[in-house]
Structure 1
Amino acid sequence: MSDEGFLPERARWPARIAGVTMLALMAAGAWQMADAVRRQTAPSTSRADFLEGRTTAALEKSLAEALPSRDAAIALANGLRYRLLGGAPEAVRTGHDGMLFLTEEMTWRRDAWRNQAARISLLAGTSASLQKQGVALVVVLVPDKARMLQQQVRGGYPAVLSARYQRAAADLRAAGVAVVTLDDALQPRAGQAYYGSDTHWNQRGAHAAADAVAKQVGGMMQFSERAQFRTSETGGPAPRVGDLVKMMGLANAPGWLRPPIDSEAPLQTEQVGAKDVGAAGLFGATAVPVTLVGTSYSLRANFHGFLQEALGVSVLNAARDGAGFLQSIEEYLRNEAFQSDKPKLIIWEVPERFLQAPLGGEKGFFARTGLGPAGD
């Protein structure tokens, strides 16, 4: 029996069309590649150039210049796969109503619980070491988008991950780490709290998360350096192509070939009556009572601005785009800004899936950051 026999009748014609289209694109690409190779001047093939990569780099550059329609062809193929079959690259999972998800959020690893235990131990050690220096640590545990929108995940959310978030929060508290959970704050508005074409929360979700963090922090400590902040729109709604659409190779594809993209107005949060010292630079010289470290969640949808507004204090945003579990806080702790003028509070934003990801630079973290040998 052919593979097509496993498809329902209504899905066979789209599959056939997609297959024929892909074959046509492959044939066109092969012809274009052959023609490009024929027209290229042979790069240097000396032993030194070959061993040091100059030969292949020159060939790649010349072929790329000779294939002007390559990106368009790839976008067309990816778009047809999505439109005709609902397909996406392995890293992206399509959901209902045009919603997209990051596959990694639903990936189970054999060593997941061991990795999570190691990272919770590191968080507990970091909290204890910072307390000795008069700095409080609060971990903000960010629930995965797929967890919050389980009803829109095609095929359902993995049962093996259902308890991951609550277990992580419970284990953190048991280890003596102050933790803010956001599932209760985001759940009532979950359908409107995330971008459809992106992994991250949108402005509604970021605002709700910031309010939840400020509420718990306000019950823990008070700040003398009070300030008032105001958030306002700086323009009209504009299209926003999310990271998941980019991962699908459809960022520049026409609208009819890609999932729906989001639209929102840009926001700006400013300190009322004074310069916002929290925005003076990544590690500015001006002292601030609170530092935010973490991932791209802290750099999206004005979360940092909403947090300053809700806390009523300036917050230095030391989060890093594309950072893993440790990069942001390690860079900050090793910087002179922390060494010379410590904040009262560090807010460490951690996506739940990061706790179970493969371990990387955890070994030696305490020695590298000067927090002491404990835990290494």
Structure 2
Amino acid sequence: MSKTAEKIYIASFITMLSLGFITSMSGVIDYKQPKTYSVLDGNLAKSFEDHYDKELPMKDIGTNVWAALDFVLFNEGRQGVKIGADGWLYSDEEFKPDPTGPHNLSDNLNTIEGVRNELAKHNIKLVMAIVPAKARLYPEHIGNNRASPIHADLYQQFHKAMDRDEIIAPDLLTALESAKSQGQVFLRTDTHWTPMGADIAAKRLSAAVAHNFVLPGEPQKYVTSVDKTEPYHGDLTRFIPLDPLFETLMPRPDDLQKRNTAAASQTEGADALFAENNISVALVGTSYSANPNWNFEGALREHLQHDLGNYAEDGRGPVLPMLKYLQSDDFKNTPPQVVIWEFPERYLPMPNDLSEFDQEWVARLKDLGDEQNLALTGNR
């Protein structure tokens, strides 16, 4: 921080305290006690507290002011976001180091291999949809942010591990990079891909499925329609709490053109009934798959020309939804032929809280003695 910035920051801090004190006193002076009250049961204190909160919204004002100072002086937001150049925002999970990262990476690779083996017991094939980091796709906008060493070649490590374990994992990075000239494949203010990016990924995955498997049943036609474009404030803007006082400082919203996919009219009747009872593909993953804003599920249907079951979940990461699916009645009673596991690369070195599952079952699934996965991370 320069001397000038330090002085501005200190002056702003003193001003903020002074304004808070003055406003607090006026709020206290204006207080009128209720006609009936009891000191013993706390009613009077509760009455004063409610009045104080109503007349003195200093918490929200203070949040806005300090967020504005951090944003303007230091180009920083709250924990959770990295502010890049040109109004681009990135999840800090793509940059921050984690001393437990190598262990988590090995642990998650063991889990993936265990899932593959569990599916193989039921003659189900696993296809990994490894979502590249936004910072990897758009490094030209990261500004002064630099990823920690564990993230440098994480995408390549992930694919090497899948190749070694003979798990199908088409290269989504190359496909998405090639499509950048046609439009944005990731949102500028959000963690996620755009509907266009989701469609590019779905097309590449569907081609890999078609190349390796023959899905049962007749192909079905799905049609995607494009809705109007609307302003969209991405999830990463929540970590820059400038609204409402300093809303004009916020990065401009994205332009989100939503898409919707539905079965064509030809699939009605007997074909539609067949489709409902013969879903041969299951999709498991994160909000990249679960959130309808991106239409990833619909794009997969269109390019696979088959229906699918979507078991992805928001806010749970990629591992928990998969373990939950493996223990579900749907998996036991109507197993698919192919499982597509959408797995963002940034989650590979992150820990998972698996306490909701039977720990003996989790340990068996992980197969922690896998020497190949340990060798990949250098932890021999």
Would you call these one fold, judging by a TM-score over 0.5?
Answer: yes
Q: 1:140 is matched with which residue?
A: 129
SS of the aligned residue for 1:239 comes to strand
Q: Is residue 2:226 matched to residue 1:223?
A: no
Q: Where does 1:76-115 land on structure 2 (aligned, <5 Å)?
A: 76-115=65-104
AA aligned opposite 1:256: T
- Identify the residue that residue 260 of structure 1 maps to in structure 2: 252
In the aligned structure 1, how far is the partner of 2:277 from the partner of 2:296? 21
- How far 1:82 moved relative to its partner? 2.1
Counterpart pick for 1:244 among 236, 245, 263: 236
Partner of 1:361: 354
1:313-346 alpha-carbon deviations (Å, 9 max, x no partner): 1122211110123221122222212211111111
| Aligned residue identity for 1:212 | R
| Cα offsets for 1:225-249 (capped at 9, x unmatched) | 3211111123x22111101101222
User: Relative CO higher for 1 or 2, CA cutoff 8 Å, sep ≥ 6?
Assistant: 2
| 3-state DSSP of counterpart to 1:118 | helix
Distance 1:33 1:107, change over 3 A: same
Amino acid at match of 1:354: Y
> Could you say what secondary structure the match of 2:313 adopts?
coil
Structure 1: give runs of 5+ residues left out of the alignment. 6-11, 50-55, 277-284
Deviation at 1:255, TM superposition (A): 4.5
Name the SS of the counterpart of 2:82 in structure 1.
strand
* 2:82/2:145 contact within 8 Å kept: no
C-alpha contact (below 8 Å) 2:94/2:147 kept by paired residues: no
CA 365–188 in structure 1, closer or farther in 2 if over 3 Å, else same:
farther
- Structure showing greater radius of gyration is 2
Q: 1:4 to 1:351 in 2, by over 3 A?
A: same
Go from structure 1 to structure 2 and tell me whether the alpha carbon gap of 1:86 and 1:57 turns closer, same or farther (over 3 Å shift). Answer: farther
Distance (whole Å) between structure 1 residues aligned to residue 50 and residue 126 of structure 2: 48
Q: Secondary structure of 1:179's partner?
A: coil
Give deviations 1:19-57, integer Å, cap 9, x for gaps. 5445433443455566668859999988xx9xxxxxx99
Structure 2 counterpart of 1:297, one-letter code = Y
Report the equivalent of 1:310: 303
Instruction: Measure, in 2, the Cα distance between the counterparts of 1:172 and 1:58.
Output: 62
Question: 1: CA distance between counterparts of 2:111 and 2:38?
Answer: 51
For the Cα contact (< 8 Å) 1:123–1:177, is it kept in 2?
no
Indicate which of 280, 288, 300 corresponds to 2:279: 288
The answer to whether structure 1 residue 127 and structure 2 residue 108 are counterparts is: no
Change beyond 3 A, Cα 1:128–1:97: same
Root-mean-square deviation (Å): 3.5
Q: Structure 1 100/123 Cα, relative in aligned 2: closer, same or farther at 3 Å? A: same
Following superposition of structure 1 onto structure 2, how do residues 147-158 of structure 1 map, counting pairs within 5 Å?
147-158=136-147
Looking at structure 1, the residues matched to 25 and 233 of structure 2 have their Cα atoms a distance apart, in angstroms, of 34
Q: CA deviation at 1:110?
A: 2.5
The question of whether the paired residues in 2 share the 8 Å contact of 1:295 and 1:349 is answered with yes
> In the alignment, is the contact (CA less than 8 A) between 1:94 and 1:100 conserved in 2?
yes
Which of 164, 174, 191 is residue 174 of structure 1 equivalent to?
Answer: 164
Alignment check: 8 A CA contact 2:319 2:352 kept: no
CA distance in 2, matches of 1:330, 1:316: 16
Structure 1 position 149, deviation (Å):
1.4
TM-score, scaled relative to structure 2 = 0.79
CA shift for structure 1 position 259: 1.1
Q: TM-score, normalised to structure 1's length? A: 0.80
The question of whether the paired residues in 2 share the 8 Å contact of 1:267 and 1:302 is answered with yes
Equivalent position SS for 1:180: coil
| CA separation of 1:335 and 1:74: change in aligned 2, threshold 3 A | same
- Please say if 1:198 is aligned against 2:187: no
Q: Is the 8 A contact 2:84 2:145 kept in 1?
A: no
- Asked if the contact 2:85–2:141 (Cα under 8 Å) also holds between the matched residues in 1, the reply is yes
Check conservation: 1:92, 1:247, Cα contact below 8 A.
yes
Distance 2:115 2:320 in 1: 14
Q: Secondary structure at the match of 1:98?
A: coil
SS across alignment from 2:64: helix
SS at match of 1:78: helix
Amino acid at match of 2:167: V
SS in 1 for 2:348: helix
Give the match for residue 9 of structure 1.
none
Tell me the SS of whatever aligns to 2:188.
coil
Unaligned runs of 5+ in 2: 270-275, 369-380
Identity of aligned residues (%): 25
